[in-house]
Amino acid sequence: MKIPTADSDIHAVLGRYWGHAGFRPKQEEIIRSVMSGKDTLALLPTGGGKSVCFQVPALAMGRMCLVVSPLIALMRDQVQRLTGMGISAKAITSTMSRQEIDVALDNAAVGRYSFLYVSPERLSSDVFQARVERMAPGLIAVDEAHCISQWGYDFRPSYMKVMELREKLPNVPVLALTASATEQVAADIMAKLAFPVPHIIRGSFSRPELVLWVSHGEDKHGRLLKVMQKLPGSSIVYVRERRSTIRVAGFLQHHGISAEAYHAGLPSEQRDRIQQQWTAGTLRCVVATNAFGMGIDKADVRSVLHMAPPNDLESYYQEAGRGGRDGSTAHAFLLMGPGDEEALHERVARSFPAVEEVRQVYQSFADIHGIAMGSGMMETYDLDLQQLALRSGTAPIVVAHALKVLELDGKIALTEGVRTPSRVLLLADQRVVYQLRVSDTRMAPLLEALLRMYGGLYEEAVVIDEARLAKAANYPVDKVTKLLTALHQQRVLSYKPRSDAPRITLLTPRQDAKRMSLDPHALKDRELRAVQRLNAMIDYTRRERCRARMLMEHFGEVTTTDCGRCDHCVRKAQDTSRRDQPHDQASPLDRANDPDVRWELDEHG
């Protein structure tokens, strides 16, 4: 991995690494703003190319960029993409051992990386704080910046740790990026990040290539099938629950449509296979829960369907916006049915469990992992939701929401289930390792295989494959695992076995659950804001107005022009056409063979 040298010509950097001749709208303005040293808030729609806005200036300046990002999957994908381009990048996450984090931060401090991705909860750790000033970054990028605002739909208290960065690095410009922020949230982001002067560069939230359609009726599956049969091309179908992914995918398969269910509970190999097949185009449709599509670079999605409304317009816009990133026409369908509004209200109400339930879940988690009072701070533990539900005597859905409350209160950080392969880092010096190779007949074949097959084991953690090691050492796989574990316990090396489980990191020392304080006013305030966002979502589905205009206005962008393509605009045009034509003359919009025809999906239309 090479570290690029500075190239002040940002167009040359763009061409060299991305192969593009020009920037997308607003990208160059954002890049030149941060390169001039200005704190900048970039509001770009989903698919607007936010990552280029910090990657290009960092490479052009030849200075490391520190990227704060909340999702391991996103960090992993961006690091893989950068390293694939020959650019040095590393992510510090809760899946890493303390030794791995130490080595990675040391490497960052001596300038080995062009990009260092850090989850927000790691910013205040002692090991990070001890090295951050020596890293001398040229830019701090705060991705998903709406997470820092209590008015935002995905507020995370750990994002407040960015302020500690600003205190340590007062002269380093900050680029905050988000695809979904109302005017109130945008102002809050700049205040929380201590911008000396408010400075927003706002890309248009208009997506003229995206046809927005809200459909009301009884038979959702029938309407889904109608869309899939009429619209060719790659598709995502979003559902609210894991079991629904299987049911809906099976329904589509039964009708001859290539579809697979995707959710976090599937084995990582199966998730990887589905994602790869869908990205390559050999699988047409993925039926998934809402996390699917985050960080996936697929431009030719022709339709995105929601089988139920999300909790807020911000989530809906992000998910629907995964269609049509290539600039060609794509459709976003929201299929509404009887009871959807009531279910939405119930879902939001359930997301705020009673304080006693939250305390019980916290106590049960500490009991399962044997976490002593006052210990565990910044330690990471596997999360088994079913086991925790059984131990706490509460339903899994209540457990999930209780954990979210603890996260919102700043006590824990949740990490989604992400495949993390096995890794090894040699800790002992070369003399100790050599002595084991010549004197320990059990360890020698394994150490020989490790050193022969993998380079850089003394420098940073290396991804390994136990099956390949077993074959090279002529050992069974379970013996290799046991020997690696023994070497880990002897501190000869650090061994992190592969894991797909979600995790919890304690951000504060373990407390007495019975006395644990949860601010009731803050909880109530969050609930009220959630209800406000819910009402905005329902209003979008009910009102007879241009859908595109409603979305743009929600994000503070005023337009006087209807899109002419959404269900409201088409229905309005149809009504006008029918009034203006003789009864025996069909409207052009009713011609079945017209390639530009829009059809009414409502069962009553």
pLDDT tens-digit map of 353-412 = 888 999 999 999 999 999 999 999 888 888 888 899 999 998 888 898 899 889 888 888
Which residue type is seen at 358? V
Q: Which of 96-100, 312-316, 524-528 has the highest mean pLDDT?
A: 312-316
> Which residues face 503 on adjacent strands?
382, 415
Q: Kindly report the length of the chain.
A: 605
φ/ψ of residue 319, rounded to 5: -70, -45
Question: Would you say 496 and 422 are in contact if contact means Cβ atoms under 8 Å apart?
Answer: yes
Look at residues 530, 316, 500 and name the one whose alpha carbon lies nearest to residue 408.
530
φ/ψ of residue 303, rounded to 5: -150, 140
Strands 115-118 and 89-92: parallel
Question: Would you say 318 and 152 are in contact if contact means Cβ atoms under 8 Å apart?
Answer: no
Structure tokens at 158: 């750990």
Instruction: Please give the Cα distance from 88 to 114 (Å, whole number).
Output: 5
Containing 423, the helix (H) or strand (E) segment is strand 423-426
CB atoms within 10 A of CB 26: 19
Q: Where are the beta strands (DSSP E) in 242-310?
A: 259-262, 285-288, 301-306
Mean pLDDT value across residues 176-184 = 87
pLDDT digits (tens, 9 = 90+) for 197-248: 999 999 888 889 999 999 999 999 999 999 999 999 999 999 998 889 999 9
Percentage of the chain beyond pLDDT 90 is: 53
pLDDT digits (tens, 9 = 90+) for 304-350: 999 999 999 989 998 999 999 888 999 999 999 999 999 999 888 88
Instruction: Please give the Cα distance from 163 to 159 (Å, whole number).
Output: 8
Q: What is the 3-state secondary structure (H, E, C) of 270-306?
A: HHHHHHHHHHHCCCCEEEECCCCCCCCCCCCEEEEEE
User: How much is the pLDDT for 1?
Assistant: 40
Q: Where are the beta strands (DSSP E) in 318-379?
A: 330-336
Asked whether residue 493 carries a pLDDT value surpassing 70, the answer given is yes
Question: Would you say 183 and 205 are in contact if contact means Cβ atoms under 8 Å apart?
Answer: no
Instruction: Look up residue 90 and give its DSSP letter.
Output: E
Structure tokens at 261: 């269910």
pLDDT digits (tens, 9 = 90+) for 10-33: 999 999 999 988 998 899 999 999
Per mean pLDDT, which range of 247-261, 348-362, 572-586 is the poorest? 572-586
| Strands across the sheet containing 380-382 | 380-382, 503-506, 412-415
Instruction: Please give the Cα distance from 543 to 546 (Å, whole number).
Output: 9
pLDDT band at 470 (very low <50, low <70, confident <90, very high): very high
Look at residues 235, 547, 127, 578 and name the one whose alpha carbon lies nearest to residue 118.
127
pLDDT digits (tens, 9 = 90+) for 269-307: 788 899 899 999 999 999 998 867 666 778 899 999 999
What angle is formed at CA 64 by the lines to CA 63 and CA 68, rounded to 5 degrees?
Answer: 140
Instruction: Please give the Cα distance from 291 to 168 (Å, whole number).
Output: 34
Torsion of CA 388, 394, 395, 397, to 10 degrees: -70
Instruction: Please give the Cα distance from 245 to 288 (Å, whole number).
Output: 6
Mean pLDDT value across residues 491-514 = 86
pLDDT band at 528 (very low <50, low <70, confident <90, very high): confident
Asked whether residue 605 carries a pLDDT value surpassing 50, the answer given is no
Percentage of the chain beyond pLDDT 70 is: 92
φ/ψ of residue 10, rounded to 5: -65, -30
User: How much is the pLDDT for 242?
Assistant: 86
Separation in Å, CA 564 to CA 539, 545, 558: 20, 11, 16
Look at residues 227, 305, 235, 308 and name the one whose alpha carbon lies nearest to residue 599.
227
> Which residues face 65 on adjacent strands?
115, 139
Instruction: Please give the Cα distance from 345 to 533 (Å, whole number).
Output: 11
Query: Which of the pair, 137 or 267, is modelled with greater confidence?
Result: 137
Q: Which residue in the block uniquely carries the two structure tokens 């009553």?
A: 604
Asked whether residue 599 carries a pLDDT value surpassing 70, the answer given is no
Query: Which residues have C-beta within 8 Å of that of residue 355, sequence separation ≥ 6?
Result: 518, 520, 523
pLDDT band at 8 (very low <50, low <70, confident <90, very high): low
Asked whether residue 418 carries a pLDDT value surpassing 70, the answer given is no
DSSP secondary structure string for all residues of 526-537: HHHHHHHHHHHH
Question: Would you say 162 and 170 are in contact if contact means Cβ atoms under 8 Å apart?
Answer: no
Average pLDDT, the chain: 87
pLDDT band at 417 (very low <50, low <70, confident <90, very high): low
pLDDT digits (tens, 9 = 90+) for 550-561: 999 998 888 889
| Strands across the sheet containing 89-92 | 89-92, 115-118, 65-68, 139-142, 174-178, 40-43, 200-202
Asked whether residue 590 carries a pLDDT value surpassing 50, the answer given is no
